[in-house]
Amino acid sequence: MKTPKITLRAIEPEDLDLLYRIENDVKLWNIGTSNVPYSRYTLHDYIANASGDIYVDRQVRMMIENEARQVIGIVDIVNFDPRNRRAELGLVIEEPYRQQGYAYSTLMEIRHYALSVIHLRQLFAFIDARNVACLELFRKLGCQESARLKDWLFDGVDYHEAVVMQMIL
């Protein structure tokens, strides 16, 4: 399968609606650390005040565009630890664009960015153990499972195991 071409770019004010939709998607709350809705004002303020400098903000968020220049998702590098040269990775591909290779292309680009631009040694991600497709994607990229965390993710009813995947660059 040919991997689609993507472009990573800085977040713009025009991305507010997409950011609002993703941050307030209850289905995504179970796979991340956020479980509260964000107001448009808060997200507008974030877009307006993010410096774009990972050393200042300790994070960077980029929009993912396909070849038709449609925004298809968001990739985040957060919990940046400059001393140990590592950071956590977050990725959301919009539903209509899933299972088409965009996540793979994005992770290849973000790996290059992390290594060549911000000089990280490793990226890591917490993945729900039930998300087999995501775990397989990370394994395909050469990531290794470094831990299993029991009862780490709570979906409002049950606790689920998280798998820590590491990408050594």
Residue 4 pLDDT level (bands cut at 50, 70, 90):
very high
Radius of gyration of the chain (CA): 16
Give pTM, 2 decimals: 0.90
89 burial level (CB within 10 Å; 0-12, 13-18, 19+):
buried
Quick: pLDDT tens for 82-118: 999 999 999 999 999 999 999 999 999 999 999 999 9
Tokens read off for 111:
């790996």
Quick: pLDDT tens for 145-164: 999 999 998 877 899 999 99
Q: Are 100 and 6 in contact (CB under 8 A)?
A: no
pLDDT of 34 > 70? The answer is no
